[in-house]
Chains A and B, each alone.
Chain A
């Protein structure tokens, strides 16, 4: 049985036919609905939240078919399944370690992607630094990451060889005596002479399916995150966890603060809607709140300067009613008007 099949079997046992099997698909996909979030807590499956974001319904159905065929589960009625005695015994016999043990999807589901992108970039940059090679293509093209790494190199610009040696030591220490295969991650790393493998290629070399590989890869990243967090023995790797927060932000609501962190990392509204599974209106509210509190917040990218001028012209005529401004500045959206007024600390009556 593959690790993914085991995982689904384990989850089916945990939900004890109180939910349909698709609740598990949603959980593994990391769907941000209140039902899925409740399920994750209720059935103690938080660690598997969002560990297989790409698992499709078809692939999931195939796994269910396999489990039925092997007589590990039986179908009760439409969509609900019960684990059989054979399935139960299988789990008990193979209890330790049946599943990747470091998975912690609930805590890390937003951080793992960011962490990998920064780590892979850090290794590439340092490897090229010691090779005195200035001409190479960064394997990540996310602008915030590139800015971050530039910043990081400046902060740590003591001897470049020491930097490389330190990173080597930290990674070596990290992977020693862990219940994972370090190659899962190491094969993906790119240096000055050696170009890393893609996820597909690594899966092929390690002879697993892409899906299984993905689960193991996530397991490795989660292991690193747990290991590095709050420890002093990983001075370089710990810096990969940084998120930049500004002092003024303490006055923001919790949710707005999260949005602010994402914005500061260079994500835009559309990205944040996707990542946080919130409505556009909610994110826009956050941005307006941020504009009120953080005086350095630049709104030019949301509202062209000439539109800002037009809005201010109308509103300085003593009129603060959104509807009226909207009529006289038709090119501006409600969001843009609220944002401009917030920036200029005008009280708005809707």
Chain B
């Protein structure tokens, strides 16, 4: 039955590592914690069981864009009973979605929405037979991506009728795993844990003298490498500059990808890449979440990653076909400054916190009507978009528990702890860059795993700085028609003429 469904519905002939075990645990009605490597098709672990369970599956996911990608993916296999219920929907769309909620089989939502009374009421009326927590590490304060609003999940399980939980996470340390189980009250869960190691990805770091030299090296490396690749950037501006430089140096099939694209552009660039019309994507971290491309040969980081967890997720997009692939991290002196700055702007620092305190203590009513003062608050405390969101998440929870403005002290403590953790995480990456022994060993050690043995193309310290030999893909080049009629013919008539022959 499972195999049949896998073939008929999803078009796969066999399961990948961990999928079958996870699905069996879920179907047995057990709480399940699954830590599977990136690219192992985690979403199948709840998509397939959903078809075998009587009710709907509720999937809680941290990123709005990720949700839409998932809905798109389901649409692709002909599944229209999927909806992303989130703050993007306006009042009318929300109401009509709520009204028809019972018709959906897949309901994607954000933790924030779980605090909407109306939504929770409707959810409790319908039959939820599986609760999926995607990116479950977001619930842990020890995780690299802690989100205060994830804490709310623990409190709504009863209203949902205590369905079995499937907690999915990509890479997590032991401490984080324990935290997840405790927060979701699933101590007796079945744990399906796979190694974070991807033996077919060779790990390299290259140190250069300056920013300009980094661009030069990037161009040189990309020119020499075969096959499709992704280059990750922390800033959209730099991604644009480098894409332009690559084009000027003869690497024509390059495109940038970032969060600001509209639907049409997003789909077109993803599809061009999947159809091998593009070789290189210069992306901010928004790229890659929803796309399935097996033959990505290399992932380059132009900027230093914020932590080992996200680094592993991003390089994990390479080599899903099992072929030898390359992860290359470029480093110039003082590169660690950028991630530190990013961390500082996304959190709320002590002086901002003091300004917030003063603002709320001046007039205690302001605390209870925070929404009204949003713009004022942003201006007074000079908050970034992310830090304002943190404040709002915290505030929502505080109000729910009737806490006064003085509870901001808790937030301050939380922020300081987060700042310290994130600086430590950056430092771990810094150490990874500057170490002189096996890089793979360091990664496995960090995630509490035993070193794997006998990896042919391990890392630059084991094998030297020469890159592994990447199998040159047979490049399916798109015929470069100059003539509009030929293009039109290819789009509309190529199959028609085949049929006549």
Contact = CB atoms under 8 A, between A and B. Distances in A.
A189 to B, nearest CB: 6
Nearest to A191: B491
Interface in B483-498: 484-485, 487-496
Interface string B256-284: 00000001110111111001010000000
A191 B492 contact: yes
A55 interface: no
B95 interface: yes
Contacts of A136: 76
B492 A168 contact: yes
Interface string B59-89: 0000000000000100111100000000000
Given A194-B478, A301-B95, A189 B491 contact: yes
Contacts of B267: 137-139, 141
A135 B478 CA distance: 20
B491 A302 contact: no
A135 B90 CA distance: 29
A90 to B, nearest CB: 31
B272 to A, nearest CB: 5
B133 to A, nearest CB: 26
A187 B487 contact: yes
Interface in A277-304: 300-302, 304
Contacts of A165: 492-493, 496
A302 B92 contact: yes
A127 B489 CA distance: 10
Nearest to B94: A301
A182 B484 contact: yes
Interface string A127-138: 100111011111
Contact of B487 (A139, A167, A189): A189
Interface in A100-147: 120, 123, 126-127, 130-132, 134-141
Given A137-B75, A268-B90, A302-B92, A191 B490 contact: yes
Contacts of A181: 484
Nearest to A136: B76
A308 to B, nearest CB: 11
Main secondary structure of the interface of A (DSSP, over half): loop
Interface stretch (A195-203, A209-217, A253-261): A195-203
A304 B98 CA distance: 10
B351 interface: no
B499 interface: yes
Nearest to B270: A137
Nearest to A263: B92
A193 interface: yes
Interface in A145-171: 161, 164-165, 167-168, 171
A34 interface: no
Given A168-B493, A300-B99, A304-B95, A139 B268 contact: yes
Given A161-B499, A270-B90, A301-B95, A194 B487 contact: yes
A301 B492 contact: no
B265 to A, nearest CB: 5
Contact of B496 (A120, A135, A164, A194): A164
B263 A193 contact: no
B281 to A, nearest CB: 13
Nearest to A266: B93
Contact of B268 (A164, A175, A198): A198
Given A195-B268, A195-B272, A269-B92, A140 B488 contact: no
* Size band of the interface chain A makes with B: 35 or more
A120 B99 CA distance: 32
B285 to A, nearest CB: 20
Contact of A195 (B76, B77, B277, B495): B277
Interface string A292-326: 00000000111011000000000000000000000
A192 interface: yes
B76 A137 contact: yes
B255 interface: yes
B77 to A, nearest CB: 7
Contacts of B489: 168
Contacts of B269: 198
Given A140-B264, A195-B272, A302 B95 contact: yes
A301 B92 contact: yes
A182 B255 CA distance: 24
B212 interface: no
Contacts of B358: none
B96 interface: yes
Contact of B491 (A123, A135, A270, A304): A123
Interface in B94-153: 95-96, 99, 118
A190 interface: yes
Contacts of B77: 135
Contacts of B496: 130, 161, 164-165
A270 B77 CA distance: 32
A141 B263 contact: yes
Nearest to A186: B484
A348 interface: no
Contact of A135 (B76, B95, B484, B490): B76
A183 interface: yes
Contacts of B494: 193
A50 B26 CA distance: 55
A2 B72 CA distance: 40
A300 B494 CA distance: 47
A131 B490 CA distance: 11
A172 B76 contact: no
Interface in B312-366: none
Nearest to A298: B96
Contacts of A127: 491-492, 495
A195 B277 CA distance: 8
Which of B92, B272, B488 lies at the interface centre, i.e. has the most chain A CB atoms within 10 A of its CB? Answer: B488
Contacts of B484: 175, 181-183, 186
A301 B99 CA distance: 8
A201 B272 CA distance: 12
A268 B92 contact: yes
A252 to B, nearest CB: 20
A137 B78 CA distance: 10
Interface in B444-501: 478, 484-485, 487-496, 499
Contact of B271 (A123, A137, A268, A305): A137
Interface of A: 120, 123, 126-127, 130-132, 134-141, 161, 164-165, 167-168, 171-172, 175, 181-183, 186-187, 189-201, 268-270, 300-302, 304-305
10 contacts: A137-B75, A141-B267, A161-B496, A161-B499, A164-B493, A165-B492, A186-B488, A190-B491, A194-B487, A301-B95
Interface of B: 11, 72, 75-78, 90, 92-93, 95-96, 99, 118, 255, 263-265, 267-272, 275, 277, 478, 484-485, 487-496, 499
Given A137-B75, A195-B277, 20 more contacts: A135-B76, A135-B78, A139-B267, A161-B495, A165-B492, A165-B493, A168-B488, A168-B492, A183-B484, A189-B487, A189-B488, A189-B491, A193-B494, A194-B277, A194-B490, A195-B271, A197-B268, A268-B90, A270-B90, A304-B118
